Structure 1
Amino acid sequence: MELGIGIGWRPEIAHEVEALTGIDWVEAVAENLCGGHLPDSLVRLRERGVTVVPHGVALGLGGADRPDPDRLAALAARAELLGAPLVTEHIAFVRAGGPLTASPRLEAGHLLPVPRTRDALDVLCENVRIAQDSLPVPLALENIAALITWPDEELTEGRFLAELVERTGVRLLIDVANLHTNHVNLGQDPAKALDELPVEAIAYVHVAGGVERNGVWHDTHAHPVTAPVLEVLAELRSRVDPPGVLLERDDAFPPGEELAGELEAIRATLREAAPPTGPASPEGPRPAVRGRDRAPAVRVPEATVPEATASDTTVPDTTVPEVPVPGGPDVSATTRDRIAVAQTALLSALVAGTPAPEGFAPARLRVQSRALAAKRADVVAKVAPELPEILGDGYRAAFLAYAGSRPMSGGYRRDALDFAERVLITGGPADPLARRELTYWWQDRSGARPPGRATRLVRAARAVLAGKK
């Protein structure tokens, strides 16, 4: 399956993406697409023959729970709506708590690393198989960037990914920026990871920018791609010719010409790092893949497809045995319980201020905790832009204070409502006009539900304000 050079499609840069030349495909965040209706920009791109791949961020396949059927159905629907050749997600957990631990459900609001242990691998493999059986197209999973690592890990990142592929036949989405992040933050060697993982299972590659602060690399997707990240891309290209490479940008969007310059830097890196004898051809068989998990070939102009690549795009069913999956459907409840307890303890420390679990560095957990709160503040400002407009310069400080004592238990829109409610209950904002605007905003969006104590307080405050007019 050949994809070529692509860019992450975001509404903020839809016009710039359409205007870029030499773009073969785009990737769109699945959860940001409405079911049954595509943005006009994506419709136009598809009409031009540009492939669109949905990229999920909310499944949490590395979590202790089995994948949520509704989330899987939504991701499957996006894939069918887009006519996508595959869908992608992350090797991460994004929520914890709930029935497995008899504790409140907690949402991270971001991607957190799974422990690279045999127990966690067993759970992940079963969750991946459940997802594969629910999706109409093949699934590829992305390695994530991490600020923290779990104690007592049993596998390197490369071996963890290799065993995941061997046991499930899943494809890989390798993010070279995340490999660089983990090199800076955790001391993990990108070259060793690339040596250990099955590069022939790569579906495509992500490239993104970040920034280093106080010795910690933050994978921001809001800064230009740096030379060290391109060096990791060159390391990968020296081993394999990836089917696709995509530039990600999620914030602080630059002009179109800067995006074009970054794409050209990626193309140049791929050209210069290619082995002199041609595209790399790793020895040994491709990982076994179940019939329904094979990606259909993407139609591209004949002149752009090397002969060897064109002949390898499909594999007859008769040559592909069923993948044996040790610990697949037989993962015990006890194993899931152990993972659930460990992940809940970690997430609670990060978002609810409980003590750090044994083996974790408290200082690094504080960095991760601040990063999660900042991520929440940024996303809430996007889904509810009226809040920073009403609160002005005080928005961010108020939100971070709120996030420090109120873990997220629902989506970002629910978080925005809860934040506004909390600000009003605690007497802010100080400016009467801003307080009135915030009260109206909250009431307009809170929906019909039995009024609780907080609602009654807000209504009483509104009545007082109305009486002062």
Structure 2
Amino acid sequence: MERLGTVRLGTGIGWRPAIAEAVEAMAGIEWVEVVAENVCPGHLPDSLRRLRERGVAVVPHGVGLGLGGAERPDPARLAALAERAGALGAPLVTEHIAFVRAGGERAASRGLEAGHLLPVPRTREALAVLCENVRIAQDQLPVPLAVENIAALFSWPDEELTEGQFLYELADRTGVRLLIDVANLHTNHVNQGEDPSAALDALPLEALAYVHVAGGFERDGVWHDSHAHPVPEPVLAVLSELASRVRPPGVLLERDERFPSAAELEAEVARIRETVEAAERAPVTVGAAAPATVGAAAPRQRLVTATAPEKAEVDEEAGEAVRTRLALGQTALLSALVAGTPAPEGFDRGRLRVQSRMLTAKRGDIVASLAPELPRILGEAYRPGFLRYAAGRPLTGGHRADALAFAFHTLRHDPPAERGARRELRDWWIERSGRASLVGRPWARWARVARFALLGR
């Protein structure tokens, strides 16, 4: 695997098509991050090409590998991530410490997709699986890999390690770099009472690749990591504490929705830069880590804690029995979240209900972004209609298939009252599903069913 040396990233922002022009014009942007699955290697957006020509580094940030899942990483997904790294000339790639799907043959269940990043249990068995999955990914990627801590609304019962201990062990065993999201540390503080300072104390900050900063909001005692609100002071405080301990090789603002003006975005990036610089000017704490670089691997020393220094290590290579136990647990949890089955024993059922509603709402948002004609045709009826459709219908075939299934379900069971909207929805479904070219063939019966639904009301 290619090593990077001592390249530093600097201050950056998450590149999104909606703010591409603003990002290009923004002063002081040294690098950008792009969602890997949203980039086609053979058809890079002109904006990204221009940024690269100016010497701005572009880092692909994956969301679909599911390194924390029970199965080994999908070779096709790994190859796609590697291809994007090459097309972008990326200095490294990043992914999440999370699982995003479950079920399948190992769990004797249909495959389920979360459409979201879900936490892995902080147990030694889950850690062994994660370590093996990370090593597999490292072997297949042309550049270094960094993995990110996620925001969690709930925790698994009977966890054996704190977040800091879990990340330290992961970096220690695999040499993987860490992408630390300080907004997620704040989220876990509000939602689960986890102390960000304690997490920072346990982290191997010399393995730090870069830092994410993002906004959110609190509602009914739950912090929502929305990436759609300004960065609040508590998140900046966590960033300051981290920067007082180690000089971050890179810091990046994430913003995914409800984009403000270009001037407001630039001001927010400036606040992040100023927070880091102020922390760096402060007196160095005795024993603080040396400045980190993107190419620095975690030290090969063992974690010693007061909580579990004598526990036997799980084998580094996760056995099939370990993976099966993890698969069964993750499948039961995901089924409760997306298919309405009973919550597994030991989980906070109230939190799982909140998470379930959030997953469904996010699923509807993604369908609306992929098929904007649907909310336009259905108007205010789109969201409640999608919630009714999604109840008991877990995501199994991807979001584009979800959009088609929702349209067909609406035609059959919940058609718009206005005749013109019904006709437009029917025509959209026939065209997008490819049925229009199959009139007179067996597939035409689907079009006839949709037409019946339209005219029968």
Question: Which TM-score applies when normalising by structure 1?
Answer: 0.88
Q: Does residue 336 of structure 1 match 2:336?
A: no
8 Å contact kept, 1:241–1:280? no
From the superposition, tell whether residues 352 and 455 of structure 1 become closer, same or farther in structure 2 (CA, over 3 Å).
farther
The C-alpha deviation readout for 1:216-247, integer Å capped at 9, x for no partner, is: 00000000000000000011011100000000
The C-alpha deviation readout for 1:166-222, integer Å capped at 9, x for no partner, is: 000000000000000000000000000000010111100000000001000000000
Structure 2 residue ranges without an equivalent (≥5) = 1-6, 303-312
Q: Does residue 347 of structure 1 match 2:347?
A: no
Separation in 2, partners of 1:241, 1:423: 53
Residue 403 (structure 1) aligns with: 390
Correspondence for 1:462 among 448, 451, 456: 451
Amino acid at match of 2:379: G
Q: Does residue 424 of structure 1 match 2:430?
A: no
**Equivalence map 1:29-68=2 (5 Å):** 29-68=35-74
Q: Secondary structure at the match of 2:106?
A: coil
Q: Secondary structure at the match of 2:391?
A: helix
Give how far 1:66 is off: 0.5
Q: Secondary structure at the match of 2:43?
A: coil
Residue 95 (structure 2) aligns with: 89
- Pairs aligned (count): 439
Residue 257 (structure 1) aligns with: 263
Give how far 1:126 is off: 0.4
Give how far 1:462 is off: 1.9
The C-alpha deviation readout for 1:228-284, integer Å capped at 9, x for no partner, is: 000000110111000000000000011100001111110111122125356998459
Residue 371 (structure 2) aligns with: 384
Separation in 1, partners of 2:348, 2:301: 42
The C-alpha deviation readout for 1:342-365, integer Å capped at 9, x for no partner, is: 000000000000001000111110
**Equivalence map 1:61-80=2 (5 Å):** 61-80=67-86
From the superposition, tell whether residues 156 and 19 of structure 1 become closer, same or farther in structure 2 (CA, over 3 Å).
same
8 Å contact kept, 1:115–1:149? yes
Separation in 2, partners of 1:10, 1:108: 23
The C-alpha deviation readout for 1:137-167, integer Å capped at 9, x for no partner, is: 0000000001010000000000000000000
Residue 299 (structure 1) aligns with: none
Question: Which TM-score applies when normalising by structure 2?
Answer: 0.91
Amino acid at match of 1:358: E
Separation in 2, partners of 1:274, 1:282: 12
Give how far 1:447 is off: 3.1
Query: Percent same amino acid among aligned pairs?
Result: 65
Correspondence for 1:363 among 339, 345, 350: 350
Q: Does residue 394 of structure 1 match 2:400?
A: no
Residue 157 (structure 2) aligns with: 151
The C-alpha deviation readout for 1:391-435, integer Å capped at 9, x for no partner, is: 101111111111222100022111111111111111412221111
Q: Secondary structure at the match of 1:96?
A: strand
Q: Does residue 375 of structure 1 match 2:381?
A: no
Amino acid at match of 2:445: R
Structure 1 residue ranges without an equivalent (≥5) = 285-307
8 Å contact kept, 1:425–1:454? no
**Equivalence map 1:229-268=2 (5 Å):** 229-268=235-274
Residue 182 (structure 1) aligns with: 188
Give how far 1:443 is off: 1.2
Correspondence for 2:133 among 124, 127, 131: 127
Separation in 1, partners of 2:350, 2:438: 42
8 Å contact kept, 1:200–1:282? no
8 Å contact kept, 1:221–1:248? yes
8 Å contact kept, 1:60–1:90? yes
8 Å contact kept, 1:240–1:280? no
